[in-house]
């Protein structure tokens, strides 16, 4: 297992993770943007619809997992990075899709993150990349927390507040 200085920003869809990642990046911190969102945006620009992109859920989830692994392999373990989701999030997404989570579970054993920040949920808003609804977001919130706890992480719950205050909260808890 490779111990790192990487901090995971995670939580349900619409919990404000991406806004805080952008704020941390604005402040000069190294960040890794959410892989699934980037991939879906890329495919939408090619003219695909969301239902086409996610038509084969196993292939989609495996692609996202492989991309996360590829990115993490390139990161220096001793450099501070903030990740908008990490490999263990795939455990939750596999479970949500009714897929066997063994693959992401095994891949999660190779890296140890410094700390995991779980963002409290905010009001749910639909956008062109999300396929979840309010109920699914709540289920994902639970599954994500279960996945990290299964891997023996102590979770730091980030309260719902303004973006700058959440970024400050994260930085105060490094």
Helix/strand/coil for 118: strand
Q: pTM score > 0.75 for this model?
A: yes
Instruction: For the sheet with 31-32, list strands across it.
Output: 31-32, 81-84, 6-11, 115-119, 155-158
Mean pLDDT of 133-153: 93
- At 14 the pLDDT is 81
pLDDT tens-digit profile of 76-115? 999 999 999 999 999 999 999 999 999 999 999 999 999 9
Residues paired with residue 111 on neighbouring β-strands, in sequence order: 2
In angstroms, the CA 142 to CA 157 distance is 13
pLDDT tens-digit profile of 20-39? 999 999 999 999 999 998 99
**pLDDT confidence tier of residue 51, bands split at 50, 70 and 90:** confident
Helix (H) or strand (E) holding 38: helix 35-45
In angstroms, the CA 37 to CA 124 distance is 16
pLDDT above 70 for 125: no
Assigned token pair, 85:
């989701």
Give the DSSP letter of residue 31: E
Our separate counts of H helices and E strands in the chain read: 8, 7
Give the DSSP letter of residue 159: P
The whole domain housing 99 covers 2-172
> How many domains are there within the chain?
1
pLDDT above 90 for 136: no
CATH number at residue 133: 3.40.50.300
């Amino acid at each position: 297992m490779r111990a790192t200085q990487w901090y995971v920003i995670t939580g349900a869809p619409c919990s404000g993770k991406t806004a805080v990642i952008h704020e941390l990046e604005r402040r000069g911190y190294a960040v890794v943007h959410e892989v699934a969102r980037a991939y879906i945006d890329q495919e939408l620009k090619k003219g695909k619809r969301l239902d086409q992109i996610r038509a084969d859920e196993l292939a989609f989830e495996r692609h996202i997992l492989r991309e996360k692994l590829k990115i993490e392999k390139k990161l220096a373990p001793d450099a501070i990075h903030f990740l908008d989701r990490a490999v263990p999030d795939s455990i939750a997404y596999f479970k949500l899709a009714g897929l066997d989570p063994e693959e992401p579970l095994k891949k999660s054993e190779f890296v140890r993150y410094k700390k995991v920040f779980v963002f409290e949920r905010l009001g749910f808003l639909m956008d062109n990349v999300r396929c979840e609804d309010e109920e699914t977001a709540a289920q994902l919130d639970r599954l994500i927390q279960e996945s990290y706890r299964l891997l023996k992480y102590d979770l730091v719950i980030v309260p719902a507040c303004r973006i700058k205050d959440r970024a400050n909260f994260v930085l105060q808890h490094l």
